[in-house]
Structure 1
Amino acid sequence: MKKAGGMLALAACVALTGCATAPKTLYQWDGYQPQVYLYLKGESPEQQIAEMEKALALISAKGNSVPPGFHAHLGMLYSIAGKSDQVATQFEDEKKLFPESGAYMDFLLGKLKKGEKL
Structure 2
Amino acid sequence: MDSSAAWTAVLLGSLVLAGCSTPRTLYQWEGYQEQVHEYFKGESKEAQLQALEADLQKIKAKNGAVPPGYHAQLGLLYSSLGKGDQMAREFEAEKALFPESAPYMDFLLKNTRGGAN
Normalising by structure 2, we get a TM-score of 0.82
Give, in angstroms, the shift of residue 20 of structure 1.
Answer: 3.9
Q: Which residue of 2 aligns with 1:96?
A: 96
Give, in angstroms, the shift of residue 82 of structure 1.
Answer: 1.4
Distance, in Å, in 2 between the alignment partners of 1:15 and 1:105 is 45
Q: Which residue of 2 aligns with 1:70?
A: 70
Q: Aligned runs of 1:1-118 on 2, under 5 Å? A: 13=13, 16-17=16-17, 20-114=20-114
Letter paired with 1:25: T
Total equivalences in the alignment:
107
Alpha-carbon RMSD across the aligned residues, in angstroms, is 2.3
Give, in angstroms, the shift of residue 18 of structure 1.
Answer: 7.6
Normalising by structure 1, we get a TM-score of 0.81
Distance, in Å, in 1 between the alignment partners of 2:92 and 2:80 is 18
Distance, in Å, in 2 between the alignment partners of 1:13 and 1:28 is 31
Unpaired stretches in structure 2, ≥5 consecutive residues: none
Give, in angstroms, the shift of residue 17 of structure 1.
Answer: 2.7
Q: Report Cα offsets for 1:69-95 as digits up to 9, x if no partner.
A: 000011001111111120000000000
Distance, in Å, in 2 between the alignment partners of 1:78 and 1:97 is 19
Q: Report Cα offsets for 1:19-71 as digits up to 9, x if no partner.
A: 84211111011010000000010000000000000000000100000000000
Identity over the aligned pairs, expressed in percent? 53
Unpaired stretches in structure 1, ≥5 consecutive residues: none
Distance, in Å, in 2 between the alignment partners of 1:54 and 1:48 is 10
